[in-house]
Amino acid sequence: MAFNAEHQEKMRAEEEKARRNTSDIRHKILVVSGKGGVGKSSIAANLAVWLSMRGLMVGLLDVDIHGPSVPKLLGLEGSRLINGPDGIEPVRYRESLKVMSVGFLIPDENEAVIWRGPMKHQLIQQFVGEAAWGELDYLIVDCPPGTGEEPLSIVGLLKGADGAVVVTTPNQLAIADVRKCLTFCRRLNLPVLGIIENMDGFVCGHCNRKTDIFAGGGGRRLADEFEVPYIGSVPIEPEMVWAADSGKPYIGTTRQSAGWLALREGFEVLVSGLEQKNTENNDKEHGTMRIAIPLFEGKLSQHFGHCEQFAIVDTDQAAEGIAGRQDVTPPPHEPGVLPRWLGGMGVNVIIAGGMGQRAQQLFTQNQIEVVVGAPAESPEELVRSYLNKTLQSGANLCDH
């Protein structure tokens, strides 16, 4: 018991150190996949470069300890990390892009990294908690494939991250592994920002004709199955392979080919989604939001699945808290229907008596905050208590 308490205290100290060191970073995005070889590192590196080309300050953290690809992708082989006055100095790819990778610690690129779990966790903790990241608009994290120690460590240290971009290829072998990755994100309450389907066909460098290598559409079907955004598909091109081997990010080239356009459009979808989420969060901070209360016989429904109506309450500080209320009848209850329906109505928060874990996850994926265990009060009283931060929540009567 004493060992467990000591371990938990150490973990809390590490998380607090990481939180302080990354407090000046606006957005933190993890790039993950359940399977290796799907082009995850290439997506992460091109995303970081594209963001920096837009005039943003960006960090790229490579925690793929056993297969660090970022130094090669950015032409930074041979670079080394040094200690500065504010901590470990990341390597600069350009003035607006800072890079950290275990590849910068290995003198011989052919040397295998043979480390056990504690050493890997310690390195990731140093990269997050001791690197001189400074003020950044974005931190992009290139995670190793799978759902093992390294992804678990980075998710624990970067609590409050915006979420994960999941990379897959269209073939069913990759889809099966990526499905496990999506389950991993759910269990850790890490929002999935979207799925990118990489290597969606091969585009000939001479005739620009696209040939499908794998059966297509697997990524889109997976997004539909898990009810997460589909960011887009990216074909593979000879120039893209050449750029990766030459250490020149493809998004930085001038040839606006099908792959280049697909990358840019996918990144724009991702960033616009984050900006929309920021706008909604700003509305919350300024007291303008829409709150849903499930009702049964005109009162708060203690079991979410039994609700007959929703009280939709609009709030506005200028109107002294509550600006208006309307009671609406929901569509038939089926998995995923109500979160999408309320999200489409612009609901930011749902206050419920009891709600199952699966339903809570679906609301979170639709960017709706969930408050459970609310007392049996009127919708207006519940909303006022929520706005005043005095809402007393009890047991979740529907926790299954």
CA dist 230 and 168 (Å) reads: 11
**CB neighbourhood size of 321 (10 A):** 16
CA dist 242 and 248 (Å) reads: 8
Element containing residue 293 per DSSP (H, E): strand 289-296
- Which tens digit of pLDDT belongs to each residue from 179-226? 999 999 888 888 999 999 999 888 887 787 888 877 767 788 888 888
CA dist 283 and 323 (Å) reads: 14
pLDDT at 283: 57
Phi, psi for 124 (deg, rounded to 5): -60, -40
Using DSSP bridges, classify how beta strands 321-328 and 309-316 pair: parallel, antiparallel or unpaired.
Answer: antiparallel
**CB neighbourhood size of 327 (10 A):** 14
Whole-model pTM over 0.75: no
pLDDT at residue 2 greater than cutoff 80: no
- Which tens digit of pLDDT belongs to each residue from 158-176? 888 999 999 998 888 888 8
Mean of the per-residue pLDDT values of the chain: 85
Q: Which two tokens stand for residue 7?
A: 């371990």
- Which tens digit of pLDDT belongs to each residue from 97-116? 999 998 898 876 666 666 67
pLDDT at 22: 92
Arithmetic mean of pLDDT, 227-246: 88
pLDDT at 72: 93
The structural domains of the chain, ordered by start, are 13-283 (3.40.50.300), 286-387 (3.30.420.130)
195 or 320: whose pLDDT is higher?
195
pLDDT at 205: 73
Arithmetic mean of pLDDT, 340-359: 85
pLDDT at residue 397 greater than cutoff 70: no
pLDDT at residue 394 greater than cutoff 80: no
Question: pLDDT band at 236, cuts 50/70/90?
Answer: confident
Distance of CA 326 to the CA centre of its chain: 33
- Which tens digit of pLDDT belongs to each residue from 286-305? 567 889 999 988 888 887 77
Per the CB < 8 A criterion, the answer to whether 74 and 45 are in contact is yes
pLDDT at 43: 96
- Which tens digit of pLDDT belongs to each residue from 117-154? 688 888 899 999 999 999 999 999 999 888 777 888 89
Closest CA to 90 of 61, 110, 114: 61
pLDDT at residue 230 greater than cutoff 80: yes
Q: Which two tokens stand for residue 365?
A: 């994926």
pLDDT at 390: 84
